[in-house]
A = this chain, B = another copy of it.
Amino acid sequence: MTSVTGSTDDSLTELLAAYISVWNERDPHARQTLGTEVFTPDAYYVDPNASAQGRPAIDAYVAGWQEQFPGCVFVLGEVSGHHEVARFGWSFGPPGGPPAGTGGDVVVIERGRLSRIYGFFD
């Protein structure tokens, strides 16, 4: 298994940090711009609550989540990657406070961007 300590994995950690930043970016234009760097055009996202195909649908889902949880942010947890896939933990809640929720996602990466995001809640 590839660890995230080596320089090879810096780009993976950066990509996943950018993905988390999408969830935390509440300026629509900045969020959509970041989304073009993070997601392939036809990226597919699914979690227990919803699925979304393509950047605009994913962005709309993220925006809806942000409206629902105005005081919460996501924090990236442990990352591990191999081949073209990665899994990582995350938590969300008020900044600096105890997590209101945690989960783990598995993603598929195509040429440096996320093409599939399979989200799970703990």
The answer to whether A46 and B85 touch across the interface, beta carbons within 8 angstroms, is yes
| A81 smallest CB distance to B (angstroms) | 9
Q: Enumerate A41-59 residues with CB–CB distance to B below 8 Å.
A: 46-48, 51
A1 near B48 (CB under 8 angstroms)?
A: yes
Report how far A33 CA is from B87 CA in the complex, Å.
31
Q: Are B121 and A1 in contact (CB under 8 A)?
A: yes
Chain B residues near A82 (CB-CB < 8 A): 46-48, 120
Interface size of A as a range: 10 to 19
A118 at the interface (CB under 8 A from B): yes
Q: Is A93 an interface residue (CB 8 A)?
A: no
A24 at the interface (CB under 8 A from B): no
Distance from A94 Cβ to chain B, minimum over Cβ atoms (Å): 22
A106 to B106, CA, bound (A): 7
Question: Chain A residues in contact with chain B, CB under 8 A?
Answer: 1-2, 46-48, 51, 80, 82-85, 87, 104, 106, 108, 118, 120-121
